[in-house]
Structure 1
Amino acid sequence: MEDYLQLLEESLVKKIRVLDKIEEFDLKQKDALSSEESTPDFDKFDLYIEEKGKLIDELNSLDDGFEALYERVADTLKGNIPGNASRIRKLQELIREITDKSVEIQKQEAENKALVEKYFRNARGDIGKGRNSLNAAYSYFQAQRGMGAADSLYVDSKQ
């Protein structure tokens, strides 16, 4: 039984490490999105998304392993709670830490999403301004073209 509890604890510790790495990539994504340059570094942003995808796969694998192992020992654990109280408290602490990290990651993900949306909203606005400028220039060009080579205002027709 002690070995199973140790495996459960190790699984949770590994999960915390993976969540720490995901948190690091979230911060790197934020840096890539809020760079001082005029446009965010979307190449880095995409790279970080790929790396986070791999970490999320690893996290899912750890979750599956933890759940499978817990199902095997759950009845035994419940039958001897006083004898395993300290180990159970340790597992509960690790689970609380995982929950806290998950909440922080969700918060950072929401901030990153807001940064991306802000960028695209601004880019859409810039495109609209560019389109308006293009339309104004085109209208001016059309108006000038319709006036002929020389306007009567500037040329004396009595010659």
Structure 2
Amino acid sequence: MEKTVYLRILNDTLHRKQEALKMLKELTKQQEELLKAESFDEEAFNSKMDEKECYIKKLVELDNGFELIYQRVKNEIAECRNELKEEILLMQKLISEITALSVDVEVLEKKNRPVLERKIIDKKKKIKEVRLSNQTAASYYKNMTSQVQGQSYFLDQKK
């Protein structure tokens, strides 16, 4: 009886992990769309990153909880493998689906990374250009203000 309760908890944990991974995949796809857009919306992209961070934390918690419970009951499950066959098959199916989702998310992340890096490099170039432009303007104004005001550039030829 107790084993079945633990298996239900494990299955529930796997379902929640699957849902979190689906959300991560969706958020990663949304980031991909933001990266493809003509004008890069940095705020929206960062917002998606924050949402993803929450789901990643949730996944870590679910993994830790799953591992704790599984370690507690793995010997009992092995002893009653035939009695719990349906639950074990369901868990195996969920684990394979979770693995496939994890791979999908990882592929999307690897696809987005070079595009994001290019966006960052472009942004750095623009910042550098603006900084150089500001330095040039500041240098020009500094030179202009350091010259003596009212100095005549024409010589009076009368003596």
CA shift digits 1:22-58 (9 cap, x unpaired): 1111011111111123xx1111111111111111111
* Superposition misfits of 4+ residues, deviation over 6 angstroms: 125-128
| Equivalent-residue separation in structure 1 for 2:13 and 2:30 (angstroms) | 26
Q: Aligned equivalents of 2:126 and 2:27: distance in 1?
A: 29
Q: Who is 2:61 aligned against?
A: 61
Deviation at 1:113, TM superposition (A): 0.7
Q: Which runs of 5+ in 2 are unaligned?
A: 134-159
How many residue pairs align between the two structures? 134
> What amino acid does structure 2 have at the position aligned with 1:101?
L
Q: How far is the alpha carbon of 1:118 from its aligned partner?
A: 2.3
Residue 79 (structure 1) aligned with residue 79 (structure 2): yes
Cross-structure match for 2:8: 6
Q: Match for residue 103 of structure 2?
A: 103
Structure 1 unaligned segments of length 5 or more: list them: 135-159
TM-score (norm 2): 0.75
Matching of residue 91 in structure 1 with residue 62 in structure 2: no
1:39-89 per-residue CA deviation (whole Å, 9 max, x = no partner) reads x11111111111111111111111111011101110100111111112111
Identity %: 29
Task: Give the Cα separation in 2 of the matches to 1:95 and 1:8.
Answer: 11
Task: Find the counterpart in structure 2 of residue 27 from structure 1.
Answer: 29
Q: Give the superposition deviation at 1:126.
A: 6.6
